[in-house]
Amino acid sequence: MSKVLFVNACNTAESYSHQIASVFVDEYTKKHANDEIETINLYEEDVKFLTVSEIKKRQSLNYKENKDEETFKYVKQFLDADKIIIAAPFWNLSIPAILHAYLEHIAIDGVTYQSTLKGSVGLSQGKKIVHIVTRGIYSSSVEYGDSYLRAFFASLGIKDFRTIALEGTKVHKGQEEAFFNRSAQMAKNLAEVW
Ligand SMILES: Cc1cc2nc3c(=O)[nH]c(=O)nc-3n(C[C@H](O)[C@H](O)[C@H](O)COP(=O)(O)O)c2cc1C
C-alpha cells in the first residue's frame, strides 16, 4: 500500500488545474484501491510563509524527537507520503505564492535535505511527484514554475518528477473542452500506471 499526498494549490474547485487533478485522483483511486490518499488544500489550510520566530523555533528543535510539534506538521505529512500530487496554476511565470510558502515548511536542512560542501544532498529519496499545471499562454521561454519545482524536489533527492501541463487556456477561447479533454486523458493514462 502506498500513501499519496494531494497538495492542492488551486484557489477554486473550478480551476482547470484542479479539475485535471481531480480526474487524476479519481482514476488513481480506481486503479490503486488499496492506496491511501490524503489531501491538503493550501488555501483552506491558509498556509503562512515562514516568520523569523518560526525559523528559530524549528532550528531549536530536533525533528526526530519533536515530529508532533506544530512547526513540523507539513514536513511530517510530506515525509509520510510515498507519492505526491501537486496541482497548481501557472502564476506570474512561476507557482502561486501559497505553494512557495508550503515548500518553505517542507525544506528543512537535516530533515528533507542536508547541506554539504558538495551542495544539497537529498534526504527524501524514493518518492514520486506529479505536477499538474495549466498556463494561460504558451510559456516555454518563460517557464519558471514546473522547472523550479523539478529543481526544488531534486534538491530533496526526488528525481521521479512527472508533469501534466495544459497551455493556452487564455488564448483558445471556444476550444476549452477539447483542450481539457486531451489533458484529462493524459491524466487518466498516467494515473493508471503511476
Ligand atoms: C494571478 C495570476 C497570474 C497569472 N500569471 C500567468 C502567467 O505568468 N503566464 C500565463 O501564461 N498565465 C498566467 N495566468 C493565467 C493562468 O495561468 C491560467 O488562467 C491558468 O489556466 C489558470 O489555471 P487554473 O484554472 O487552474 O486557476 C495567471 C493567472 C492569475 C490569476
Task: Note the pLDDT tens digit of each residue in 56-87.
Answer: 999 999 999 999 999 999 999 999 999 999 99
Domain boundaries, the chain: 3-193
pLDDT, greater one: 133 or 172: 133
Q: Does residue 137 have its Cβ closer than 6 Å to ligand 1?
A: yes
Which cell is 2 given?
502506498
The single-letter DSSP state of residue 2 is: -
Neighbours of 73 (CB within 10 A): 14
Is this prediction's pTM over 0.85? yes
Q: Answer yes or no: is pLDDT of 173 > 90.
A: no
Q: Which atom of ligand 1 is least distant from the CA of 92?
A: 8
> Which of 174, 158, 18, 160 shows the shortest CA–CA distance to 86?
18
- On average, the pLDDT of the chain sits at 97
Cα 150 to ligand 1 centre (Å): 19
pLDDT of residue 137: 96
Which tens digits make up the pLDDT trace of 146-159? 999 999 999 999 99
- Bridge-based pairing of strands 36-41 and 3-8 is parallel
**CA triplet 97, 103, 107: central angle to 5 degrees?**
150
Question: Are the C-beta atoms of 93 and 48 separated by less than 8 Å?
Answer: no
Residue 174, pLDDT above cutoff 90: no
More confident residue, 173 or 118: 118
What's the pLDDT score for residue 16? 96
Pocket test for ligand 1, best of 92, 100, 164, 180 (most atoms within 8 A of CB): 92
176 pLDDT above the threshold of 90: no
Q: Is 128 in the pocket of ligand 1 (CB under 6 A)?
A: no
Q: Which fold has domain 3-193?
A: Rossmann fold (3.40.50)
